[in-house]
Amino acid sequence: MGNSIVRTDRWQLAPTPEQVKHLERTEKMYRSYARALIGVVFTHFDQIVSADSPCAATERLIHATKNNPNPRYQYLGRNFYKFPSYLRRAIIQAAIGQVSSFVTRYYRWQQGRRSKRNALPPILNAVTNLHVVLYRGQCILFEEDCVHIKVYNGREWTWEK
């Protein structure tokens, strides 16, 4: 496994009020998708984590394709129409992580491994504070003096400068 370098940049952004609304809509939609998906992942957790590709197994449950025209949970495709695939996959990974954490904590609680003797069982919280993942080239493009971010404007996904 090779070494990889992760770089974080801080940019001072000056969005217009309309662009702020688009950014807020984007984050709201992203979090709503995650909230809906966590229930699906929890329901099929054993099947998903035992699959060769947990992400692909989850997508088969929720995403219609030519080879999978009728996924079991069509709600996500109907209510998050044209949701970018790279964002969907980021949310799938986050949902799998959230459910995995809950399942681990719950099994420990069932086994009596608790911080306090009378500790209540953990709760699966589907309300997340996820932030939109900005993949370079797909969600964010850098130029010399500006940045373009893909956002949901209430009707479609567009690039905002």
Residues 104-161 have pLDDT tens digits of 999 999 999 988 888 999 999 888 888 888 888 888 898 888 889 999 998 999 999 8
At 25, the pLDDT band (50, 70, 90 cuts) reads: very high
Tokens of 118: 């009378």
Tokens of 81: 């129409």
| pLDDT score, position 1 | 56
Tell whether the model's pLDDT for residue 10 goes beyond 80.
Answer: no
Please state the domain extents for the chain: 17-130
Distance CA 24, CA 12 (A): 17
Share of the chain above pLDDT 90, in %: 63
| Average pLDDT, integer, range 45-73 | 96
Cα–Cα distances (Å) from 149 to 109, 134, 145, in that order, read 43, 8, 14
> For residue 57, which amino acid is it?
A
Q: What share of the chain is helix, strand, coil (3-state, %, to 5)?
A: 45, 10, 45
Coil, helix or strand at residue 100:
helix
DSSP state of 15: -
End-to-end CA distance of the chain: give it in Å, rounded. Answer: 37
